[in-house]
């Protein structure tokens, strides 16, 4: 009995020592360490859910799955940084989940809801092009986040996927309000392929991470207005935001070409500074 009680006390002391050492080294508790991975798993789940719903003939639910995956993708990195639980494993796992949610799921939604199967081989090839470009975009981001301060290199894959999802909602909104029309399948396929090419293009896109809501009153007002419009009519507002963002990159690029304006370049991480003594 005495030996058993002593053993329990020793194990408890070891656990306390491990917790103290983890705290001193800045390592988060295991629950907090797992939280970002759970959010990433939710991202992957919603991507899989979107694929299932697309093939079940429920495109609006598929679009919802893509949007919810985007919400999870926006949260997992921030939660990891707040919890000091960032890791190389988390980066790779996030990319795999994003490939499904923002590469495969939008392509399947466009293929199914856009009736691209009637095009035969060109239909599924153009849908696959979107998936391949999303995977390449994510791989490039892992290696090199971008060349310019406050800019992504190429359209972010969550934004491209959001364009597909919001377009589906916008089409449903128009049909629900009695506006019937037919979009040629080839036009849908070309649009999906162009979104894919924008992801792997070198065109800089503004990063939402650079929005300064604490010191820019005008930016805060615009964000509040956008949120109010989204609550009022999400299918229309999200579609307009997606279209404006998709065109913003090429339009900014053309304006800079005409005016000669330059973006601030980030230092090349591969360049090693010269530390040799001077003089």
Most confident by average pLDDT, 22-31, 55-64, 209-218 = 55-64
* Listed range (91-95, 110-114, 142-146) with the worst mean pLDDT: 142-146
Per-residue pLDDT, averaged over 89-105, amounts to: 93
Cα 272 to Cα 143, 265, 267, 269: the distances in Å are: 17, 17, 10, 8
Pairwise CA distance, residues 18 & 121, whole Å: 58
- Residue 62 in any domain: the answer is yes
248-270 confidence digits (pLDDT tens): 999 999 999 898 888 877 776 54
In which domain, by residue range, is 139 found? 29-205+215-259
- Encode burial over 193-225: b for 16+ CB neighbours within 10 A, e otherwise: bebbebbbbebbbeeeeeeeeeeeeeeeeeeee
The answer to whether residue 239 sits within a structural domain is: yes
Q: What is the pTM of this model?
A: 0.81
Does some domain include residue 23?
no
Distance between CA atoms of 263 and 268, rounded to whole angstroms?
A: 15
**Cα angle 83, 85, 91; round to 5:** 130
Residue at 120 is within a domain: yes
Q: What are phi and psi of 110, to 5 degrees?
A: -65, -40
Q: Which residue has the higher pLDDT, 8 or 255?
A: 255
How many structural domains is the chain composed of? 1
pLDDT at 279: 37
Q: In which element (H, E) is residue 32 found?
A: helix 30-55
Residue 273 lies in a domain: no
What CA–CA distance (Å, rounded) separates 152 from 202? 9
Please indicate, yes or no, if residue 275 is contained in any of the structural domains. Answer: no
Is 10 within the bounds of a domain? no
DSSP output for 95-159: HHHHHIIIIIHHHHHHHHHTTGGGG-HHHHHHHHHHHHHHHHHHHHHHH---SBTTEEES--HHH
Q: What CA–CA distances, in Å, run from 165 to 36, 160, 173, 255?
A: 25, 9, 13, 29
Q: What is the CATH number of the domain that holds 229?
A: 1.20.120.1760
Query: Could you tell me the end-to-end alpha-carbon distance of the chain, in angstroms, rounded to an integer?
Result: 75
Residues 6 or more apart in contact with residue 167 via CB below 8 angstroms? 239, 242
Measure the CA–CA gap between 163 and 254, rounded to whole angstroms. Answer: 22
Is 133 inside a domain boundary?
yes
């Amino acid at each position: 009995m005495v030996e058993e009680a002593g053993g329990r006390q020793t194990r408890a002391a070891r656990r306390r020592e491990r917790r103290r050492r983890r705290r001193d080294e800045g390592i988060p508790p295991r629950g907090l360490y797992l939280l970002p991975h759970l959010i990433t798993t939710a991202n992957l789940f919603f991507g899989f859910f979107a694929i299932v719903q697309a093939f079940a003939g429920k495109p609006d639910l598929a679009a919802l799955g893509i949007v919810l995956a985007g919400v999870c993708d926006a949260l997992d990195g921030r939660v990891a940084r707040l919890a000091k639980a960032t890791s190389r494993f988390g980066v790779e796992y996030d990319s795999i989940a994003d490939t499904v949610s923002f590469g495969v799921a939008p392509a399947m939604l466009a293929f199914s809801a856009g009736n691209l199967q009637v095009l035969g081989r060109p239909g599924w090839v153009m849908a696959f092009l979107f998936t391949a470009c999303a995977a390449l975009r994510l791989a490039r981001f892992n290696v090199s986040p971008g060349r310019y301060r406050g800019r992504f290199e190429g359209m972010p894959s969550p934004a491209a996927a959001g364009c597909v999802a919001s377009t589906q909602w916008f089409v449903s909104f128009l049909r629900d309000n009695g506006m019937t029309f037919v979009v040629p399948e080839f036009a849908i396929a070309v649009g999906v392929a162009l979104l894919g090419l924008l992801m792997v293009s070198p065109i800089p896109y503004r990063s939402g991470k650079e929005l300064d809501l604490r010191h820019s009153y005008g930016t805060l007002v615009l964000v509040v207005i956008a949120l109010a419009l989204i609550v009022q009519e999400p299918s229309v507002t999200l579609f307009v935001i997606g279209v404006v963002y998709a065109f913003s990159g090429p339009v900014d690029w053309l304006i800079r070409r005409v005016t000669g304006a330059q973006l601030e370049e980030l230092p090349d991480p591969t360049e090693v500074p010269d530390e040799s003594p001077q003089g």
